[in-house]
Structure 1
Amino acid sequence: MDNLRIQLEPRSIATCPNPSLPAELLKAFGHGVLQHQVEVYEAAKTHDIILDLAPTGTGKTKAGLSVIHHNRNRNAIYIAPTNALIEQQSEAAQTFVDVTGLPHVVVAASAKQVREWPDDRVGPRPGEKIYNLLREPATIFPEYGGRPLLLVTNPDIFYYAAFFQYGSKDRSNIASEFYSSFSTIIFDEFHLYDAKQLVSLLFYLVLSQVFRYFEHGRKIVLLTATPEPACEAALNLLQKEGVKIQKVDGQSGKSHQIPSQTSVNLEIRKQIDKESLIVEITDEVVNRLQKQPDQHGAVILDSKDTLNRIADQLRQKVEEHHFGRIIGNTPKEQRHSAAQKQVILATSTVDVGFNFERDIEPERQNLDWLIFSSRDRFSFWQRIGRVGRVLGKPVTHIPSEAIAYLPEEAWEQDIANLPVDAGRTGLQQKLEALDCLKRPFLDIYWRSEAFLEIARPLLELETQLEGLPQASLITELYRVLQTVLQGKRDWDFYKKRMRLLQGAENLAKVPPEKIQKDWKYIKGGQSCLMSFLRTCCPEDYEDIQTGRASITSVESLLEENFDLAGDLRNYAKILHTSYSPLFRFRDSFFESLKVQDPHKLLLDEAGEVIIDPMHLLRFYEFESDGEQIIALSRAEQPYSLAFSLCVDSLEEFDNNYLCRLFAFENCSIKRMIGDSTRPTALIKEIEKQLIPGVVVKEHNKNRWAIVKLRKQGLECYPIHVSGRDRPTPKEYLFFPSLSGILAIAAAGVTLQSPDNEEFWVA
């Protein structure tokens, strides 16, 4: 039998019976201060970075906020992993500030909230608003004059600020404030960051060391119950560079334990096909509602469409008031009402910070049972930690139940040999040994183009410090980053590469006539011009390199030849767009859309929902009149999506554009059922002029790698390429955007850049 059954023993958390904390903090923690909360506060007295590794639902937020007490008159920032959590954690921070008497003003800052701040005092630019808020909160909010700031924001804003990604008028100012303004920085649930996102966190940690902010009392708190081994390895290397790091799990007080989670009767099932999974989970939920009407449960799945189809099935079998949905699109007020239902259907949006709280709290656990899927061991422990929570509850002895769906590869990798009595420790060891549950791409990304990503802020900093004694810090900063991320190439290589990309970005923004006149005054313009000559005009480039011609002759050609200036601009645009996925915190293929949902296909109550266009195209029937999109029904079967591309010559395409990072023109999307195309006006609205990615040809030697990449979650689509020399299209595979970079890096295939430079992979 494929299914495994195992009992996970109940969990306890250590308390601190006589905590030596300031009275105001004791008041904030309330009754039963936990050992890890005390240890975090104490560790911050002597350490620079503190990792709180206590289990989910055991008060890590308060532990992190307590560290602000050490720098009570200076600015602090709390980075919540999702927009949904910003408001929740802002409320928690405000309560903490009020109870402890900290002087801070708490401000929530998602992109939407920043846009809503008043424009009349500093202007409408988001970067300008954030900069002035950090400089003096009263600039934006007059009532907050003279008080330190506690900014609650998301990783996206933090990334764009620290990596000089705001507009040219604000990027230097806001980066300077983000580097120097905060004395306490709290990263919540940082294990959710992917490989690319972790780069920004590690960059900030290294910068804090090299620029000596730790010497001036800066404290950084990292909150996670499931640390990523690759990140732990990076922190160990940072520790060798002199950073004082302390890990806390609160388990030292073995004699003072209180229950935190009930025992869990866990059944591990093999992931099955989608239609069978919908039927199986629906029947399981209906059965529990009938046989256990006094219990509450939840279903947490990665697939939004699967979850919604389960909701459709449940409507036909039970009364609708029994269940509610919580997905990324669910508005705040609907989240609260859904949380009161007997069964909660949810996506990964509840993995962090959502406590399944009810208006009428039961004396026992809020969730008696849980059904969930998991792609990696981090989400497994995050989700299993949601069921059976009893910290502070009067009734703690009633067992909970869980059903976990794991990938089929787990059985191929011997999970079936897990002993029935393995318990939590045995299960943890087994899951860590399964390759199929490891999070892919971390060290692959770090050892490939991560250094090009960090070259952007490094180059900006070097420019600002030019001629100053602190300029030498850039070389030291790069050296430490190279050590932590195990990079291979030197700073000069990435500095030159980044100057080229800056030039491409700047040239792509201006019309050809301005390039003709001002190219040498455009920042990075000469680097991009030389790259253009080397790639597109090799004979002219060779003449300049050997001294047979000078750059002034090219300047004259540009001034005289409008078409040549246009070619340079197009080259710059392709180069810039190809690399643009490296310089975004989240990789989004298209902008999200507002969709009306009158039939409650996505929401429990009719209304407007924000949705990814690719998800809409695949799973819904809808109508669009150019002003609004209305979801009509769920597609009877999911649509497939394919790209099509027109080129001048298929032979040239095969020779020059396969396995090459590029930004493709004349690339369109087809929505299909089988071989039949279903056109929709929406596709034309969302298609971009240039679409970055990598096209590969599938064959016997690489098919295994492509299958593996798909299982690891990389987006991949068929692409049909036709040429004027061959109207009949050939089919390839297209890995769009960042997926293309990761696919080639993971597969170990040499990837070419648009300028024919090798896109370096370790």
Structure 2
Amino acid sequence: MKHYTVKGESLKKAPSSPYLYHQKRTLDELMSNSVVFNTYPTGAGKTIASLLYIKENPDVDTLFIAPTNELLRQHSEDIKEFVTKNNLPHIVVKIDAAVIEKLREGHRKGATLYEVLSNPLQFREELYIEDIEYDGKRPIIVVVNPDIFYYCFYSLYGKSDKGNLMDIIIRKFNYIIIDEFHYYNSKQLANFLFFMLLSKEFNYFKYGRKMCILTATPDELVEQYLKRGGIEYKIISNENENLESEDYEKLKTLSELDLYVTNQSLEEIVSELYKDNTFKDDVVVISQSIYIVNKIKEQLINSGINKDNIGVITGAIKSKERKKAVEKHLILATPTVDIGYNFKKENKEGQNIDEVITEASTCDQALQRLGRAGRILGKKNQNERSKVVLCVTDAIYEAFKEGNGEISRLELKKLIKEAMPERNIMKKYIESNGILELCFPMKEIYRKMAQQSKHIVENIFNMVISVFAPKSKASFKSLSAKINKYQKQCIFINEYEKSSEKKEVVENIDNKLFIDFYKNYCPDEEDEEFIDDSMLDDFSEEDIKVLKLGAEKDMIHYINSEITKTKSLLNFRGSDICKPALVFDKYYKFGQEHRIFVYDIFHLMRYYDIEWYESKGTFEKAAKIKLSDYEQEINGVDNIDVFIIVNGIRENAIEITWEYGFYGEQSDFEEKYTSKVEAINSLILIGYEYTTIGRERVVFPEKITKAFKESYIPIYTISQESKEEYKIRKIIKNQPIFLQKLNVQFSESEKEYLVITGTNSIIVDSEVVKIRNNAVKEDSFIW
């Protein structure tokens, strides 16, 4: 292990104020700048810094955006406390998908959301605001996740509600706080940055809108975008404090720290630490994988440690159990706790967490998790040292310089940044497909504007291009045409799937859609001159109908594929292959108290010994339980058709892979599918288990395989040539993007490829700059 002794850290108090210096700075800078970034470390009180503006502007409607539902809960509680303490008139409302579903069952979700945003007092009981006395219009603070913000902003709710919701999200809130800004990738950052550009171009900033961004140091790229967009912003950090503040009173916020960097595994460190079954300190263990968390828990219990001494905080654990988990001396967690998680220990005079044991692959992960230990702001006992054990790869371990004396937190930050790679936010997506994504709300705004004002949207589009993709030749007109085509395709497929007269629907498909299909799907070299926008001019209506019916199967496939690729852009977090299952955890392999939860089948089938059930009834009978109405409601059982009982943890994971039958030559497949994104169906999901006998095929239920076989899935296909695979692995390194195997069966042979699925396939494709030689038809890569 390499050992580093790190000094404690203090924050300055603002003179003649109950607040910290950085909190007062944030308020002051918001008075003169449209956008303010507070980049002070974890545990410094950034949330309070952002709320001071509300205290000074008590009539402002506020939108507080936080990335996880757990953070929504924490922030809504903290904001309610702030509002009460400062006697503010605001109504605080926490909104997520479950809240909307619960308010008016069977009602349009978009309509319900609009009513909540317009007047939350009509849902007093459901939103727990019964104690608010109505004495006229009150300002509101809406605490919401970015998914709902995105759905409103991008007009993705139903036709009857999308216009109202887009309008209210753009106009209503004159103060917007975005928490954990560094958490987001390039696709997500572009959405927020575009909202800032829109606020500037429509003069919302000019007339008082403010945005407060709580984050680690902004990426240089973000600053570049802000400068290109002409947005007034200020960064508040402990590195740019005024010299006059040196004499201010200081409050200690972080304890002295011993950092140990090791290339041992997390399991080895934890096993060694608790071999004597002693619990002297409050410890958090953070793993990248919920499988590793559960495996460590089982190993500890098998070694004789009482399960009551262990708390678990993962995505599978419900809020009530998470709260109880915080009380335990040993907490096992996934990166769920990275994002603003508070480990509040009741009546503990010193730091809440004494020791963090974590793995990390990037510097941002390491710094975020280091910030969980030694937080002592406001604590009576500030003399205890904290400890962090950082588990890294051999290569990163070698990159860490040997410790040399006591170092400051800023020096520690520099040390970690030099030794560990930075997170790759995959910026090239913004320059390509990201522009099409951003064009969706612009086109909706354009549609609603009066003719004499439409040029404003065109100017905004030009601004977006100049900020995000200055080399792009895309035009608002061309991208609007793509969106029009996508919308027409969606209408056609919807009519086709619902109709009992499918032939008639095909016969009447818009000629432009048919020609687009023909141009992109059917051409061969001999027909290229024939296929253009006038190709149907010499055909009678009856002949055109015959042509369309003859191409029905291929046309439906092509249009579904095109819709899937575009639709995968229109989701804040992107879309991936997943399917939820209701789980009964028979032997508490996940949590410590509750055994019923919802989780993705891919993780379950890979890492656990499971039993599948076709219906809720057979599932309840096998588990010997009866789901209460409450359990069915909070788990969304009405929307689930897969039921699983977990019996144990697998020692060796099942290998998940795909099979695909291609009716043609290998060269045809590679020309059509490799090194590009295509959305295909008829993929067969299979698994392989490695036993003492060898590699054995695992059979999945027909319901599961059928669901994926019928779905269209975007895939980026990679040839397993060493050069090609290496390039892709380099691009996705340190990203939550995974390669899966695809076995393609040709008429007389088969070959294995690698694939990336879902929105990630498009993001990776954007990173790969392809130069095609028309003669050789090979791909080259620019780095």
Shared fold per TM-score greater than 0.5? yes
SS of structure 2 residue aligned to 1:572? helix
Q: What's the CA shift for 1:563?
A: 4.4
Q: What's the CA shift for 1:69?
A: 3.6
Q: Among residues 27, 33, 58, which one is paired with 1:72 in the alignment?
A: 58
Amino acid at match of 2:650: A
Partner of 1:264: 257
Q: How does 1:161-180 map to 2 (within 5 A)?
A: 161-180=152-171
Q: Among residues 406, 423, 428, which one is paired with 2:413 in the alignment?
A: 428
Q: Is the 8 A contact 2:177 2:214 kept in 1?
A: yes
In 2, the alpha carbon distance for the partners of 1:363 and 1:342 equals 15
Q: What's the CA shift for 1:595?
A: 0.7
| Alpha-carbon displacement from aligned partner over 1:580-604 (angstroms, at most 9, x marks no partner) | 3221112332132221112111111
Q: What's the CA shift for 1:387?
A: 0.3
Q: Among residues 377, 383, 390, which one is paired with 1:404 in the alignment?
A: 390
In 1, the alpha carbon distance for the partners of 2:381 and 2:140 equals 40
In the alignment, structure 1 residue 664 sits paired with structure 2 residue 680: yes
Q: Is the 8 A contact 2:576 2:757 kept in 1?
A: no
Q: Is the 8 A contact 1:118 1:140 kept in 2?
A: no
Amino acid at match of 1:614: F
Moved more, 575-584 or 139-148: 139-148
Amino acid at match of 2:697: T
| Alpha-carbon displacement from aligned partner over 1:684-716 (angstroms, at most 9, x marks no partner) | 265252221111111132232243245333211
Q: Is the 8 A contact 1:503 1:526 kept in 2?
A: no
In the alignment, structure 1 residue 735 sits paired with structure 2 residue 733: no
Partner of 2:697: 677
SS of structure 1 residue aligned to 2:579? coil
Moved more, 498-507 or 140-149: 140-149
In 1, the alpha carbon distance for the partners of 2:112 and 2:506 equals 32
Q: What's the CA shift for 1:336?
A: 1.3
Amino acid at match of 2:140: L
Q: Among residues 460, 463, 469, which one is paired with 1:486 in the alignment?
A: 469
Q: What's the CA shift for 1:680?
A: 2.2
In 2, the alpha carbon distance for the partners of 1:548 and 1:663 equals 27
Partner of 2:742: 719
SS of structure 2 residue aligned to 1:44? helix
Q: Is the 8 A contact 1:694 1:741 kept in 2?
A: yes
In the alignment, structure 1 residue 223 sits paired with structure 2 residue 239: no
Q: Is the 8 A contact 1:595 1:629 kept in 2?
A: yes
| Alpha-carbon displacement from aligned partner over 1:437-461 (angstroms, at most 9, x marks no partner) | 2111432222232111112111222
Q: Is the 8 A contact 2:313 2:337 kept in 1?
A: yes
Q: What's the CA shift for 1:476?
A: 2.2
| Alpha-carbon displacement from aligned partner over 1:210-261 (angstroms, at most 9, x marks no partner) | 11111221111101134333223323333xx1x2212223644332211000
Partner of 1:620: 608
Q: Is the 8 A contact 1:441 1:746 kept in 2?
A: no
Q: Is the 8 A contact 2:768 2:781 kept in 1?
A: no
Partner of 1:25: none
In 2, the alpha carbon distance for the partners of 1:341 and 1:717 equals 38
Amino acid at match of 1:73: D
Q: What's the CA shift for 1:264?
A: 0.6
Amino acid at match of 2:461: Y
RMSD: 2.9
Q: How does 1:369-518 map to 2 (within 5 A)?
A: 369-411=355-397, 414-416=399-401, 419=404, 421-434=406-419, 437-465=421-449, 467-469=451-453, 471-487=454-470, 488-491=472-475, 492-511=477-496
Amino acid at match of 2:760: S
Residues 485 and 35 of structure 1: CA distance in aligned 2, closer, same or farther (over 3 Å): same
Partner of 1:26: none
Partner of 1:254: 246
In 1, the alpha carbon distance for the partners of 2:764 and 2:394 equals 22
Q: Which runs of 5+ in 1 are unaligned?
A: 20-31
Q: What's the CA shift for 1:79?
A: 0.7
In the alignment, structure 1 residue 574 sits paired with structure 2 residue 566: no
Residues 546 and 624 of structure 1: CA distance in aligned 2, closer, same or farther (over 3 Å): closer
In the alignment, structure 1 residue 595 sits paired with structure 2 residue 610: no
Partner of 1:629: 644
Q: What's the CA shift for 1:731?
A: 0.6
Q: How does 1:139-158 map to 2 (within 5 A)?
A: 140-141=123-124, 146-158=137-149
Q: Which runs of 5+ in 2 are unaligned?
A: 616-642
Q: Is the 8 A contact 2:739 2:756 kept in 1?
A: yes
Partner of 1:28: none
Partner of 1:611: 599
In the alignment, structure 1 residue 529 sits paired with structure 2 residue 514: yes
When normalised by structure 1's length, the TM-score is: 0.88
Residues 527 and 450 of structure 1: CA distance in aligned 2, closer, same or farther (over 3 Å): farther
Moved more, 5-14 or 88-97: 88-97
Partner of 1:284: 273
In 1, the alpha carbon distance for the partners of 2:427 and 2:552 equals 40
When normalised by structure 2's length, the TM-score is: 0.86
Corresponding pairs, count: 723
Q: How does 1:236-247 map to 2 (within 5 A)?
A: 236-238=227-229, 241=230, 243-247=231-235
Residues 212 and 61 of structure 1: CA distance in aligned 2, closer, same or farther (over 3 Å): same
Amino acid at match of 2:675: C
Q: Among residues 571, 579, 599, which one is paired with 1:584 in the alignment?
A: 571
Moved more, 548-557 or 445-454: 548-557
Partner of 2:632: none
In 2, the alpha carbon distance for the partners of 1:686 and 1:60 equals 45
Q: Is the 8 A contact 1:671 1:677 kept in 2?
A: yes
Amino acid at match of 2:198: L
Residues 528 and 94 of structure 1: CA distance in aligned 2, closer, same or farther (over 3 Å): farther
Q: Among residues 549, 569, 575, which one is paired with 1:562 in the alignment?
A: 549
In the alignment, structure 1 residue 325 sits paired with structure 2 residue 312: yes
Q: Is the 8 A contact 2:770 2:781 kept in 1?
A: no
Q: What's the CA shift for 1:475?
A: 2.0
Amino acid at match of 1:127: G
| Alpha-carbon displacement from aligned partner over 1:71-122 (angstroms, at most 9, x marks no partner) | 4324211111101121221111222222223222111111011100135xxx
Q: How does 1:203-222 map to 2 (within 5 A)?
A: 203-222=194-213
Partner of 2:114: 131
Amino acid at match of 1:729: E
In 2, the alpha carbon distance for the partners of 1:374 and 1:400 equals 18
Residues 546 and 138 of structure 1: CA distance in aligned 2, closer, same or farther (over 3 Å): closer
Q: Among residues 193, 199, 216, which one is paired with 1:202 in the alignment?
A: 193
Residues 658 and 101 of structure 1: CA distance in aligned 2, closer, same or farther (over 3 Å): same
What percentage of residue pairs aligned between the two structures are identical? 25
SS of structure 2 residue aligned to 1:298? strand
Q: Is the 8 A contact 1:508 1:570 kept in 2?
A: no
In 2, the alpha carbon distance for the partners of 1:299 and 1:141 equals 40
In the alignment, structure 1 residue 302 sits paired with structure 2 residue 295: no
Residues 229 and 308 of structure 1: CA distance in aligned 2, closer, same or farther (over 3 Å): farther
In 2, the alpha carbon distance for the partners of 1:407 and 1:718 equals 25
SS of structure 2 residue aligned to 1:363? coil
Residues 87 and 411 of structure 1: CA distance in aligned 2, closer, same or farther (over 3 Å): closer
Q: Is the 8 A contact 2:519 2:531 kept in 1?
A: no
Q: What's the CA shift for 1:558?
A: 3.3
Amino acid at match of 2:161: D
| Alpha-carbon displacement from aligned partner over 1:326-375 (angstroms, at most 9, x marks no partner) | 1111111111111111111111111123221122x221111111101112
In 2, the alpha carbon distance for the partners of 1:685 and 1:97 equals 52
Q: What's the CA shift for 1:549?
A: 4.4
| Alpha-carbon displacement from aligned partner over 1:178-210 (angstroms, at most 9, x marks no partner) | 111111111111111112111111111111111
In 1, the alpha carbon distance for the partners of 2:721 and 2:206 equals 56
Q: Is the 8 A contact 1:449 1:760 kept in 2?
A: no
Amino acid at match of 1:489: K
Q: What's the CA shift for 1:57?
A: 1.3
In 2, the alpha carbon distance for the partners of 1:184 and 1:624 equals 48
Partner of 2:335: 348
Amino acid at match of 1:278: E
In 2, the alpha carbon distance for the partners of 1:364 and 1:567 equals 68
